[in-house]
Amino acid sequence: MEREIDVIKETFEKIKNMEIRGAGRIGRAAANALKTYALKIQDLNDEEFKIRMKKAGELLVSARPTAVSLPNAVKFVLKGLEDENPKIGVVKRAEEFINSSLKAIENIGKFGANRIRDGDTILTHCNSEAAISVIKTAYDEGKEIKVFCTETRPRNQGYITAKTLYDYGIDTTLIVDSAVRYFIREIDIVVVGADAITANGCLVNKIGTSQIALVANESRVPFLTAAETYKFHPKTIVGELIEIEERDPSEVVVFEGKYKGIKIRNPAFDVTPSKYIDAIITEVGLIPPQGAWYIIEKYFGWLK
Annotated catalytic, 278?
no
Closest approach, Cβ 22 to ligand RUB, in A, equals: 3
Residue 205 is assigned to a ligand binding site: yes
Closest approach, Cβ 236 to ligand RUB, in A, equals: 17
| Residues 7/34, Cβ–Cβ less than 8 Å | no
Which among 228, 229, 232 has a CA at the least distance from the CA of 242? 232
Residue 93 is assigned to a ligand binding site: no
Residue 24 is assigned to a ligand binding site: yes
Closest approach, Cβ 195 to ligand RUB, in A, equals: 5
**Which position's Cβ is nearest ligand RUB?**
193
Nearer to ligand RUB, 78 or 203 (CB): 203
Closest approach, Cβ 197 to ligand RUB, in A, equals: 11
> Which member of 43, 46, 120, 126 is catalytic?
126
Nearer to ligand RUB, 193 or 201 (CB): 193
Closest approach, Cβ 293 to ligand RUB, in A, equals: 21
Nearer to ligand RUB, 128 or 217 (CB): 128
Nearer to ligand RUB, 38 or 74 (CB): 74
Residue 112 is assigned to a ligand binding site: no
Residue 153 is assigned to a ligand binding site: no
Residue 22 is assigned to a ligand binding site: yes
Annotated catalytic, 195?
yes
Nearer to ligand RUB, 38 or 162 (CB): 162
DSSP track, the chain? ---TTHHHHHHHHHHHTTSS-SHHHHHHHHHHHHHHHHHH--S--HHHHHHHHHHHHHHHHTT-SS-THHHHHHHHHHGGGGSSSHHHHHHHHHHHHHHHHHHHHHHHHHHHHTTPPTT-EEEE-S--HHHHHHHHHHHHTT---EEEEE--TTTTHHHHHHHHHHHTT-EEEEE-GGGHHHHGGG-SEEEE--SEE-TTS-EEEETTHHHHHHHHHHTT--EEEE--GGGB-GGGGGTPPPPPPB--GGGT----GGGTT-----B-EEEE-GGG-SEEEETTEEE-GGGHHHHHHHHHGGG-
Residue 64 is assigned to a ligand binding site: yes
Residues that bind ligand RUB (CB under 6 A): 21-25, 67, 126, 128-130, 157, 193-195, 205-206, 268
Residues 6+ apart with CB under 8 A from 127: 21, 22, 152, 157, 158, 160, 161, 164, 193
Q: What Cα–Cα distance (Å) separates residue 106 from each residue in 45, 116, 226, 272? A: 39, 16, 11, 25
> Which member of 149, 195, 202, 278 is catalytic?
195
Nearer to ligand RUB, 17 or 219 (CB): 17
Closest approach, Cβ 194 to ligand RUB, in A, equals: 6
| Residues 48/70, Cβ–Cβ less than 8 Å | no
Residues labelled as active-site residues: 126, 195
| Binding-site annotation, residues for substrate | 21-24, 64, 205-206, 231
| Binding-site annotation, residues | 21-24, 64, 205-206, 231
